[in-house]
Structure 1
Amino acid sequence: MGFAAWRALQAIFDADRHGTSPKAWAIRTGQAISGVIYGGLALWAFELLDEFEDIGEADEEAKANSMAAAAMALPQGDLLVLLAGLVMIGFGVGNIVQGLAQDLGKRLRCSDEFSRWVVPLGKIGYGSRGLAVLPAGLFLIVAGLDAQSSDARSWGGALQAVEQQPYGSWVLGLMAVGLIAFGLFGFVEAAFRGIRPPPEIC
């Protein structure tokens, strides 16, 4: 929830001082979407704590199908599900591009030598995080196009579908290593990231 709140500060108050150019608004929109996704993950985690038990695989898939069915029952519901899938795809692709193109070291207040060691963790991590959400987004797009809520998958179910493909276990293993790298880079950012809030906030 703390990370989701930080994303809100970035998007609403321009905590990173991106400005108001079209590119800046695109970045801040991406930050807002990221905040919504992480807020949803946090609420899901709180729900698990409240129930004092893990949700089984079948229950998790049934919940994903039920949510998709509820969305499709709304006017233009299939388009809403399709849009949700496109948002997830955009989030995933954006993370991959961020890992490949963004200079992650410029926002760290640490030595150049240390930065050279930790920036690859961030690049691998952002790319892996992007790849991890793509399967769920693709299933939502298929569900929206077919107007079949049964095509929707939870995040775990989507990754399980990847595992069932040739070399899928290797793909998931590499993805897991990448997500660990993202977590480690998060600790580095917590310690060394420079934050320059706009003067009106200070």
Structure 2
Amino acid sequence: MNDRTSRKLGWAIPVMRVGYGGRGLVYLAVAGASLYSLWRGGQAQDTGEALDWLNGSWGGGVLLFLILLGMLAYAVWRVLDAVFDLEDYGTDAKGITARLGMIFTGAAHLAIGITAFSLLFAGSDGEEGSSIPRHVGMVMAWPFGRWLVALAAVVIVGAGGHYLRQGWRNEYRKHLQANRFTTRWNMILKAGVMAQGAVIAIVGLLFAFAAWRVDPSQAGGVGEAFSWLAGQSHGRILVIAICLGLGGFAVFCFVNAAYRIVPKVAEPDLRSLADLVR
């Protein structure tokens, strides 16, 4: 990409910042609603339940509107990033896989935006419980549908592993500017990235269970991942730890909104947190 094209795409940076800000609000809502529910003796909340809880709280409508804008911006950003390779992932197999993953991530967050829109303007998302098992059941009814669900499980577990590796090996630091804030808050950022990876990996395992047992009801999203964790030894402690971690991931998203480096449109002398550590 030449300098002229980079200058033309400079407007993508504000879109990226709005997108990551909205993403941070979503995870803050999930973590906050879940911890509040657990404190009152209930269960951790999935994304839809957290947004519904937010809609019924004081000032929640404003936050839902900000989330809606953020999810639209994040979806646009992911498409721009994938098409123009703004973060310089390259055109080899690994780079193409990463760029395709951006489009799927953008689509997933667009779905969250649609949920926020329905809550704002219809008062309900029109769904009782998670719609994932229903959609998985539809796919399983297709020829080779069971294997498509199994493939989805592999992809989702791989995405979770990607976040876990990024957190464990501090790979996320190469995308963040080096400054006092990112240096001092690094442990919270690390915990947040790894908590996000753990949740995604568990969702992938639930899809794998659904494919193995040919039972769509085994599949699920964040809420079902929390339920699965709660059923393990010391489950409540694990759920609380993951909720706190997702709060850390919300901080990670806000930090990205402020300090993320986009190589192909960034200032050439900008120093990353990874560079500072080295």
Q: Would the TM-score normalized by the shorter structure come out above 0.5?
A: yes
Q: Tell me which of 247, 253, 256 is aligned to 1:186.
A: 253
Kept after mapping to 2: 8 A contact 1:14/1:198: no
Mapped partners of 1:145, 1:105: distance in 2:
37
Q: Which residue of 1 aligns with 2:200?
A: 133
Q: Which residue of 1 aligns with 2:167?
A: 99
Kept after mapping to 1: 8 A contact 2:152/2:207: yes
Q: Which residue of 2 aligns with 1:79?
A: 147
Q: How many aligned positions are there?
A: 195
Q: Tell me which of 80, 100, 106 is aligned to 1:29.
A: 100
Q: Which residue of 1 aligns with 2:83?
A: 12
The amino acid of 1:24's aligned partner reads G
Aligned-residue sequence identity (percent) comes to 29
Q: Provide Cα deviations, 1:33-85, integer angstroms capped at 9, x if missing partner.
A: 322332333333334445414778xx314x33321211111111111211222
> Under a length normalisation based on structure 2, what TM-score does the superposition of the two structures give?
0.62
Kept after mapping to 2: 8 A contact 1:78/1:144: yes
Q: Which runs of 4 or more aligned residues in structure 1 lie more than 4 Å from their structure 2 counterparts after TM superposition?
A: none
Q: Provide Cα deviations, 1:130-159, integer angstroms capped at 9, x if missing partner.
A: 111222221211111222223223431231
> Under a length normalisation based on structure 1, what TM-score does the superposition of the two structures give?
0.83
Kept after mapping to 2: 8 A contact 1:162/1:168: yes
Matching of residue 65 in structure 1 with residue 133 in structure 2: yes
Provide the secondary structure at the position in 1 that maps to 2:263: coil
Kept after mapping to 1: 8 A contact 2:160/2:201: yes
Change (3 A) 1:110 1:166: same
User: Over aligned residue pairs, what C-alpha RMSD do you find?
Assistant: 2.5
Mapped partners of 2:93, 2:149: distance in 1:
27
Mapped partners of 1:81, 1:103: distance in 2:
29
Change (3 A) 1:174 1:42: same
The amino acid of 1:30's aligned partner reads G
Q: Provide Cα deviations, 1:99-158, integer angstroms capped at 9, x if missing partner.
A: 1224433333342x4332133222211110011122222121111122222322343123
Matching of residue 166 in structure 1 with residue 233 in structure 2: yes
